[in-house]
């Protein structure tokens, strides 16, 4: 898989400084292949030199062995890498510390953890500031934690796998888009010098139902589920049969997006009409290079119009001097995670996050040392529960790249990262993980079968460790039907379940998780119970009970939403303050944005919703009457960077005066600015692509300024407002010069927006 690391995200190549001296012809030829990153040819040449050159100098032998080991490492030939590094360590005592690190990694990738532990210890002695030496030395003392949840999973290879590399699946419509080096056309395909394999393209299989294997358990509650055996997982007959399925035909995803160079991992917005994908640095069909002569990777976007991907654009934070790749949108499309080796990181490649709002990209931010290490972090994926998955060789794992996950709060991995364990992870490279929101099923990539360039896509399903939550009337003991059960996972709101006629709601438990379950029903006081899976139970099904007392309190419930798209807002701190006795209750919203509180009658209260980089929302309520059972409300948040299109703002042809219908729409903006007196906005006017660029810029500037003048005349201070005309520079639907579009399509580009610049 290190081939893919270079192909899809080039970390810096370590070059050894060597004394300039006369070299044998064989060594010079080998070094030329090495410098050109042609590792297959370099391996042959170095082996030939070491085996046959009778006049080699000791320094030449040392140089050839170091570069031979590195070449095997880049080709992911861990057995030969182990052999060469083992000979080096025996023959020399003054080696660079990286040799011990690479030797330790090769040993682990071959399942030799005790030997790897010793090499990590020696590496730690030579590089004390690199925490990998100490972490892996300690980690390999007890391997049981990697197998804690292993028997809950079933894994099988997919029939879409070819003889070439197949990896990094992503959900698209009812199927999977994935990366492959195959050639379905049968024509001769160009090969990549690195390892003599074909260049990568995007392929599509339209129906995941066809990829299921009979006999693989579905991810629903079952009494036969067992967790935490700590032993090796035996494949079922169905799983063994899956390995021998005939190849299922996959189609080229897009002839527009695929080029003669590499196309790699991709991500889609929720409506699946916008893609961001990885590609070699190219310009007009020609490969671009950095100042060190290496083709870096960049991220590109495209829009789906009438079934075709058009308007391919470079993302603004690309660079020819470093790589960016492996994109992954957050569930609400407001952020995108990606991997990069840009300067200022912690190691080889790090995970970054960038804000995305209505087509506008923010500035990338490193995810921090909780996620990133001195090694390589890459292939991120964000699920609907707020967990971030990624692969790393810097966190403690089984060897190569392992899959890890972290629960995020305000963008921080506040409880650290967790290794996904066996069988998702192996001693080889495991990466490109995607799943449903409960991690009950999904897909990932691995070269576990044979190593080297044998990357395949695997499906997994997790059997269920079931917990039944029963809700009862505390006085009568009778079950309460249609009671809400709020699930809190590690202190954060998650799902909301409804009890059945038996008063029962159930869920599949995750390992190593602290739960709290809150039962909520009109006419009853809210009550909760805590439950932990930090220790394992042999029982396949477990029960907890919650008893509710009748009360005259009022139940206050609602949903926090993003005003920009009306989607639920996750990670919002919602506080209910009783304005009579000054008491407070607080919750953190989950993926559904929901909150629930009990409040006493005859007391006014205030609800406050707070989230970093969003305007604080306050809602005050008068005294609730004693017979009021439920108060339901929704709170909307305005965030920095949000862009709102103002509906129905029209101008007379070639004019910019504010008409009466436009004034009514601007009055909505006026009300927002008065509610949030610290908010600053940019008024943005756009035109379609007709007329000249200069004319359109001038017209749009006048229109934006007219909107600003209107707000100033209504009492908004000018220093809170910025007016800017963008002309035709931000076309939203591909209707640029030379493209035939309908009047309706042109109208989509003639728009006025406001963007939030600052809040408090």
Per-residue pLDDT reduced to its tens digit, 475-494: 999 999 999 999 998 778 88
Rounded to an integer, what distance in angstroms lies between the CA atom of residue 564 and that of residue 643? 7
| Burial of residue 557 (number of CB atoms within 10 Å: 0-12, 13-18, 19+) | middle
pLDDT at 236: 47
CB 165 within 8 A of CB 4: yes
Percent of the chain whose pLDDT exceeds 70: 85
Per-residue pLDDT reduced to its tens digit, 30-81: 999 999 889 999 999 999 999 887 777 889 999 999 999 999 998 889 999 9
DSSP string, 151-196: GGEEEEE-TT--SS-EEEEEEETTEEEEEE---TT-S---EETTTT
- Bridge-partner residues for 515, per DSSP? 489, 531
CB 195 within 8 A of CB 75: yes
pLDDT at 221: 32
- 3-state DSSP assignment of residue 670: helix
Residues ≥6 apart with Cβ < 8 Å to 178: 160, 166, 167, 168, 169, 170, 202, 203, 204, 205, 250, 457
Query: Both ends of the chain: CA-CA distance in Å?
Result: 46
More confident residue, 10 or 108: 108
Residues in the chain: 760
What does residue 450 show for φ and ψ, rounded to 5 degrees? -135, -10
In the chain, what are the domains? Answer: 2-142 (1.25.40.10), 150-462 (2.120.10.30), 466-551 (2.60.40.1120), 552-639 (2.60.40.10), 643-758 (3.30.1330.60)
Task: Report which listed range, 212-221, 228-237, 406-415, is most confident.
Answer: 406-415
* DSSP tag of 320: S
How far from chain centre, in Å, is Cα 688? 34
pLDDT at 526: 93
pLDDT at 699 over 90: no
pLDDT at 145 over 70: yes
Task: Report the phi/psi class of residue 439: left, alpha or beta, with left for phi > 0 and alpha for psi in -120 to 50.
Answer: left
Per-residue pLDDT reduced to its tens digit, 321-356: 999 999 999 998 999 999 999 999 998 999 999 999
Per-residue pLDDT reduced to its tens digit, 439-486: 789 999 999 976 545 799 999 988 888 899 999 999 999 999 999 999
Per-residue pLDDT reduced to its tens digit, 354-404: 999 878 999 999 999 999 999 999 999 999 877 899 999 999 999 999 999
What does residue 668 show for φ and ψ, rounded to 5 degrees? -65, -40
Per-residue pLDDT reduced to its tens digit, 637-661: 999 989 888 875 655 445 556 666 6
How far from chain centre, in Å, is Cα 66? 36
71 vs 38, 47, 88, 91, 325, CA distance in Å?
9, 11, 14, 19, 23
Over residues 708-721, mean pLDDT: 94
Cβ–Cβ contacts within 10 Å for residue 540, how many? 16
Per-residue pLDDT reduced to its tens digit, 500-559: 999 999 998 887 788 999 999 999 999 999 999 877 676 778 999 999 999 888 889 999
pLDDT at 92: 93
How far from chain centre, in Å, is Cα 22? 50
pLDDT at 418 over 80: yes
């Amino acid at each position: 898989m290190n081939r893919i690391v270079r192909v899809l995200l080039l970390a810096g190549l370590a070059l050894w400084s060597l004394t300039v001296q006369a070299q044998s012809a064989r060594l010079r030829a080998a070094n030329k292949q090495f410098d050109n990153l042609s590792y297959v040819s370099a391996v042959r040449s170095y082996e030939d030199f070491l085996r046959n050159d009778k006049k080699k100098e000791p320094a030449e032998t040392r140089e050839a062995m170091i570069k031979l080991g590195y070449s095997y490492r880049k080709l992911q030939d861990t057995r030969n890498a182990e052999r060469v590094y083992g000979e080096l360590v025996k023959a020399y005592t003054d080696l660079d510390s990286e040799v011990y690190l690479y030797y330790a990694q090769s040993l682990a990738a071959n399942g030799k953890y005790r030997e790897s532990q010793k090499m990590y210890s020696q590496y730690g002695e030579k590089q004390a500031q690199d925490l990998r030496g100490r972490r892996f030395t300690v980690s390999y003392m007890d391997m049981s934690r990697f197998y804690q949840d292993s028997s809950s999973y079933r894994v099988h290879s997919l029939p879409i796998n070819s003889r070439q590399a197949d990896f990094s699946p992503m959900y698209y419509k009812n199927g999977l888009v994935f990366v492959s080096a195959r050639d379905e056309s049968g024509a001769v395909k160009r090969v990549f010098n690195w390892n003599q394999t074909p260049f990568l393209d995007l392929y599509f299989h339209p129906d995941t139902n066809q990829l299921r294997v009979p006999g693989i358990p579905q991810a629903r509650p079952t009494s036969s589920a067992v967790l935490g055996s700590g032993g090796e997982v035996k494949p079922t007959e169905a799983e063994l049969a899956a390995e021998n399925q005939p190849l299922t035909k996959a189609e080229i995803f897009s002839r527009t997006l695929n080029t003669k160079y590499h196309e790699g991992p991709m991500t889609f917005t929720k409506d699946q009409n916008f893609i961001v994908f990885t590609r070699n640095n190219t310009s007009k069909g020609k490969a671009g290079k950095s100042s060190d002569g290496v083709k870096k990777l960049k991220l590109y976007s495209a829009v789906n119009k009438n079934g075709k991907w058009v308007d391919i654009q470079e993302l603004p934070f690309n660079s020819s001097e470093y790589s960016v790749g492996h994109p992954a949108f957050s569930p609400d499309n407001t952020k995108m995670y990606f991997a990069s080796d840009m300067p200022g990181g912690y190691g080889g490649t790090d995970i970054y996050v960038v804000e995305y709002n209505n087509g506008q990209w923010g500035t990338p931010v490193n995810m921090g040392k909780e996620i990133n290490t001195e090694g390589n972090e890459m292939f991120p994926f964000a699920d609907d529960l707020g967990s971030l998955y990624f692969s790393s060789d810097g966190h403690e794992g089984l060897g190569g790249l392992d899959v890890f996950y972290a629960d995020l709060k305000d963008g921080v991995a506040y409880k650290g990262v967790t290794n996904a364990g066996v069988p998702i992870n192996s001693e080889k490279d495991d990466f490109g993980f995607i799943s449903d929101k409960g991690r009950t099923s999904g897909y990932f990539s691995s070269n576990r079968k044979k190593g080297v360039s044998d990357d395949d896509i695997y499906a997994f399903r997790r059997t269920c460790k079931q917990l039944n939550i029963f809700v009862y009337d505390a006085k009568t003991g009778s079950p309460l039907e249609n009671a809400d059960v709020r699930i809190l996972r590690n202190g954060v709101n998650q799902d909301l379940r409804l009890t059945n006629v038996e008063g029962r709601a159930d869920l599949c438990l995750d390992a190593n998780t602290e739960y709290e379950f809150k039962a909520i029903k009109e006419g009853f006081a809210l009550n909760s119970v805590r439950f932990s899976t930090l220790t394992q139970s042999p029982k396949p099904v477990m029960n907890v009970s919650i008893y509710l007392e009748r009360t005259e309190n009022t139940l206050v419930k609602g949903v926090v939403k993003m005003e920009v798209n009306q989607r639920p807002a996750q990670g919002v701190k919602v506080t209910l303050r009783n304005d009579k006795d000054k008491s407070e209750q607080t919750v953190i919203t989950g993926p559904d944005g929901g909150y629930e509180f009990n409040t006493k009658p005859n007391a006014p209260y205030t609800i406050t919703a707070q989230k970093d980089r969003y305007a604080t929302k306050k809602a005050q309520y008068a005294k609730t009457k004693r017979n009021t059972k439920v108060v339901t409300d929704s709170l909307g948040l305005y965030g920095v960077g949000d862009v709102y299109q103002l509906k129905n703002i029209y101008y007379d042809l070639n004019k910019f005066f504010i008409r009466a219908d436009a004034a009514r729409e601007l009055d909505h903006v006026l009300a927002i600015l008065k509610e949030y007196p610290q908010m600053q906005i940019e008024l943005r006017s756009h035109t379609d692509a007709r007329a000249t660029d200069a004319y359109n810029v001038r017209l749009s500037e006048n229109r934006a300024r007219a909107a600003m003048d209107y707000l100033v005349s209504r009492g908004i201070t000018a220093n809170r407002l910025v007016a800017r005309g963008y002309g035709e520079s931000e076309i939203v639907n591909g209707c640029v010069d030379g493209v035939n579009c309908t009047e309706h399509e042109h109208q989509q580009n003639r728009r006025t927006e406001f963007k939030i610049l600052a809040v408090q």
